[in-house]
Structure 1
């Protein structure tokens, strides 16, 4: 094919040559900030107070198609500095070395958090050198599959640190580290907007996110899904590469590439960021940018608030904000900068697909076009408007100056000012922060002041109550969101009447938040909590967001409350009734699912493989994960004919799939499941144990699968690369 011949080579280009092959939105320019030898295989970074970049280098990632020596400690955390202030890095300093695939960083107080799966570390910083090391979490990331391990470490507005591919959040409290359960979010990268709502995605979906503050609604372990979290913000997943992209993992499948061999839909979406700088202008503020390294592009999405919902659309038709014809341009992370620019981390290499799911098709693409080497490159760019002055800001550790910076137009600066005030425990500025709460024309300064007071432990009831009735909805949101942190036995009786008044006023935007807060009120007064719930159900029993928020406050009380809910309204189709029945069904189902422990013992290799390969998408309980994969528990495909299940595991599955009578398809789930048959590191016995494990875990009970069964399937489908469709499986 002529198109393929034209792109048979994929040469390594200098940073300057690669820049020439980029096309960015009119009116903008891309500037090189750092390149090899100053940076190698970058995947994540954070800016310090002086504008220096602390970069995580994943140098060991995929040295070849077999992932040879990937577990060697070659990763580093480096400090990059522009000493002569000409806009490009001229100094590199190694802060940490001998790390295995480090992937995320976050400054806290006098140190930095470093994610090095499975561990999460905190290193004190002493004159740009690592001091005392503390293990924050030995199970930060469970599994072992590089594509499905926790990452992110975003320090959000509410002073907690959140992650993608994780249901944990962290916070430093004196000498202790707090870890709490939160909602499971995304795959690679997590970002926040001005109101602390989180945004994320998975490899096939443009943008997912939360409608509500991230600390809300994760308290009921019986509840698998809470409406308003993990919502599909931008459902349009179409991409528009500037070049043919045959080097994608499923490029051989119909519909993956168009007639010009260009990727049709996202296959490696990652690193969402909401632009919060002042340089781009108001039309770009709070736009969501998403990276697609497999197609060498960055997408721009425009978001719109509708009540407490956030919905979005792609900014352009048939084009992108930035594209490149350099196949090795791999934007893997995006950031707001202290100068208002949008920063791009370019891993710059040929291989970005991990070997665990690497198809034979892509392995051949890599070999034929010599994409394996080199692996010693890396670039960092910034995107700015043309002919516009750019200047960074140095965060001086002066509490009064930091108070002023809470009003700054750049979101990065506001966030950093809040964090420095909290980290340095500048409690003496509480009076000035309270003055900010009365500002009429600076709502973002009010919001940051609320959370700065919270982080300092200085927020008082007299600060919060007036904000609960504030005319600005976003300020009311923050006042409601902060209540779990400030409500106590001594003051809850002040807050409860105000919450009731919001319901009396029919504040529909506040109603889900009041429902979330029932759990906090119940800690101090069960009667008051039930009174709020009853009022909510009288007014909002048909509202799925209020219903799920209420259920999040009803751990192990769902059955009794269902009886109460039916007395308010016997209509079984109402959201509160249907949602309660769903939770009760899941609880009973879970009680029947205690076979997993015995299955772990009987099929130990299969259990390990499940954790490393399948759990990230199908869930530890086998009940599936929204936006990723359908359930394995009680799936007709799992407990049914093994002659159909084995090919699915070996070669993958594409397109819609009907499981137990329900049709699952994108965007409810990822449209493709990769197979593991091409992974030469896995023996037939391990594959057989994996299949046997899922067939005999949770509520499943089915015949074991042997290594001989796997061999027979390989022989039957010899030379097959393509994933199966449901229709093809039904014909087997």
Structure 2
């Protein structure tokens, strides 16, 4: 049989199963047994099953056996692709064998220049569920839970291995562990699902606390602001520089960080998608059995290339592997605030009818194309949360195998060449590339200059600060910072720039360059900006005051009070001021109230809320004592609960409501057990306040279907939670859990508050 006939027949069978495999009934979605399964389709045919925005095309970069189970990648300055292969993820519907050391870091190279990789080189193997990499300073960071390692690279082979962080990902399961390792404009490395950032200074690794961000995937825009999301959220991001604002441990949220950039979570799959974890729930699927809203959003990227055209500048692309699609969002900036909307209604930038198309990460390419990491597999949901419904779909659709697939694609305009930029070590050439139209090229040039400690570039960089374009000036400034060569007079000059983005970068670099001999100049410059009514700078000035305090506490205090006096009703300025106040909140609140007695002002409201929270937290139980009494419970809380509900039990913005002082935690035991076993669909009312999407995720997954979590484990984690923080409720035992489990045996769907309230 000729190949094209076989492909046509396979496509016909594939189309037929979509029409016949599923049907809607009065009681929800029913999976009708079929015999066709979901066949693996070769990469060329898989591309034909993709519907991409008109004027664009999808091209193959690599496919099995050259790459298998890819989850992340990065580019080196030779144009090669370094890929993370997570072969161990969900070997079957039960996740058995997940801890096998079969993960790899591989290097893919296009030797003949046709745009398709043709050589595979294994750099590292025998890894357990590797999840992220970052090339830096002649080596590579590799995230292999729970550790973050740094390997020296010698002729594409690993050299000395250094442990950077033994607790990089020591909590959460595979879906809820840190990842990303984004090397940002400010020369720090940031992560999703993490509160840590990293930086290499000589032989030393520095680890600092930063804001908690997202779940899987993280990217930056042209100004170094970060973007991310969680599985049910289209796009989130920061309005301000990533290094600022995470300095007050008492401050639960800082305005302008983890903001909902795009609030519309509707998706438009090209095929029926009943094989999602909660496909049985009313409202999850529409009448054509297609997913309504994001359930596995991940891998967001801000497009920064020069290939797509002006209409795509400051656009975001978001992957949704459960629905086999990639969404496009159009972002706009209004003052300090970034918001966005979906580019289309009723369709997507790219959507496939191939059930195994699983885009999990997106990247800007050095050639201006959009790169897509396709894990290409049937199972995408981790075992911790797989419902019996989804297990049935997986088994009937024959989605468990094969596991040895994977693809990398790139999307680009038709009839438009995607040419890679050639990098060399010439200082002048690299500085010129800091002004390239492609943001990925600018980033690479910056990183090469910093990594090579290219002091020969300093004269060219200084000249660029005076005469370059705004983007080139910003990158040049951060290269000088990375080389420890940025001078006070240069920063002061940039603070007076007519370009706001340049001033923004100059304000952002102050903590790195200010010292005991220069701080007075910065204090004067910042006070001048306040007096000149530079409103956009006000938030940054408030953040910067924190770094002035060690040199001159009185000057920092005066600066904060000046800002409060001028911007008392600005929520971003108020929140930035509060980020300075660790362990001084109550005294400052009294001072501000004397200065601005109107209690309805935003700054007074925020201060009152913060002070009340601090006073309340003083009543918390000792967590160490509870961990000793309920060791399994404390461990399970850390791995499955803490990542959404926070260590202090007060919940995390956009993810989950508080457990601390929640009547659902301290009240009826059976209701609480029911929620933990089978999950909860919002909204939920706690202490008179209604939490609902998008403030929190719409659903909390249950753990009743996990074979690894026993009744004793559930009892311990609930006892731990019921006695933690300011909760003081009775313990729960395994027999009570077993009783509820037996009563609800066979249940699949999550509870709603109405159901529980009716009990």
- For Structure 1 versus Structure 2, the TM-score category normalised by the shorter chain is over 0.9
1:161 to 172, 189, 196: 189
8 Å CA contact 1:36, 1:378 repeated in 2: yes
Q: Does 1:175 align with 2:203?
A: yes
> What is the CA distance between 1:577 and its match in structure 2?
1.2
TM-score normalised to the size of structure 1? 0.99
Query: Which residue of structure 2 lines up, in the alignment, with residue 712 of structure 1?
Result: 739
The answer to whether the aligner puts 1:387 opposite 2:402 as a matched pair is: no
Q: Does 1:665 align with 2:702?
A: no
> What is the rounded CA distance, in whole Å, between the counterparts of 2:49 and 2:88 in structure 1?
27
2:248 is equivalent to residue 233 of structure 1: no
2:377 alignment partner in structure 1: 349
Inter-partner Cα distance in structure 2 for 1:559 and 1:428: 51
| 1-structure distance, mates of 2:81, 2:437 | 21
Instruction: Give, in angstroms, the shift of residue 2 of structure 1.
Output: 9.4
Q: CA deviation at 1:455?
A: 0.5
The match for 2:455 is: 427
The Cα of 1:3 is off from its aligned counterpart by 6.1
Shift of 1:439: 2.2
Q: How does 1:184-583 map to 2 (within 5 A)?
A: 184-439=212-467, 442-583=469-610
Contact kept, 8 Å, 1:41 with 1:347, in 2: the verdict is yes
CA deviation after TM superposition for structure 1 residue 588, in Å: 2.2
| Contact 2:660 2:727 (8 Å CA) reproduced | yes
TM-score (norm 2): 0.95
Are 1:118 and 1:144, in contact at CA under 8 Å, matched by a contact in 2?
Answer: no
Kept in 2, the 8 Å contact 1:595–1:696? The answer is: no
The answer to whether the Cα contact below 8 Å between 1:63 and 1:372 also exists between their aligned partners in 2 is yes
Counterpart-to-counterpart distance in 2, 1:589 and 1:451 = 42
> Is 2:75–2:82's contact at 8 Å kept on the other side of the alignment?
yes
Change (3 A) 1:425 1:521: same
CA deviations on 1:25-83 (whole Å, 9 max, x unpaired) are: 00000001100000000000001111110000000000001111101110000000111
**Which shows bigger deviation, 632-641 or 430-439?**
430-439
Q: 1:83 aligns with which of 97, 100, 111?
A: 111
CA distance in 2, matches of 1:197, 1:346: 26
The DSSP-based 3-state class of the residue aligned with 1:62 is: coil
Count of residues paired in the alignment = 731
1:489: Cα distance to partner?
1.0
Trace 1:583-602 onto structure 2 (pairs within 5 A): 583-602=610-629
1:639 aligns with 2:666: yes
The structural deviation recorded for 1:572 is 1.2
Equivalent residue of 2:693, what SS? coil
Contact kept, 8 Å, 2:172 with 2:643, in 1: the verdict is no
Question: Structure 1: 5+ residue runs without aligned partners?
Answer: none
What is the rounded CA distance, in whole Å, between the counterparts of 1:470 and 1:611 in structure 2? 47
Displacement of 1:272 after TM fit? 0.4
| TM-superposed deviation, 1:271 | 0.4
Indicate if the aligned counterparts of 2:80 and 2:108 stay in contact, CA closer than 8 A.
yes
Distance 1:585 1:128 in 2: 56
C-alpha distance after superposition, 1:321-360 (max 9, x if no partner)? 0000001000000000111100000000000000001111
Q: Which stretches of structure 1, 4 residues or more, deviate above 4 A after TM superposition?
A: 1-4
Matched, 1:729 2:756: yes
Check conservation: 1:219, 1:555, Cα contact below 8 A: yes
1:604 aligns with 2:631: yes
Query: What CA distance in whole angstroms lies between the structure 2 residues aligned with 1:584 and 1:141?
Result: 32
Quick check: 2:621–2:723 contact (8 Å CA) kept in 1?
no
The residue aligned with 2:27 is none
Question: For residues 612-664 of structure 1, what are the alpha-carbon distances to aligned partners after superposition, in whole Å with 9 as ceiling and x for unaligned?
Answer: 11111001111101000001011110000111101000000002000111100
* Cα shift at 1:719: 1.1
Alignment pair present for 1:117 and 2:132: no
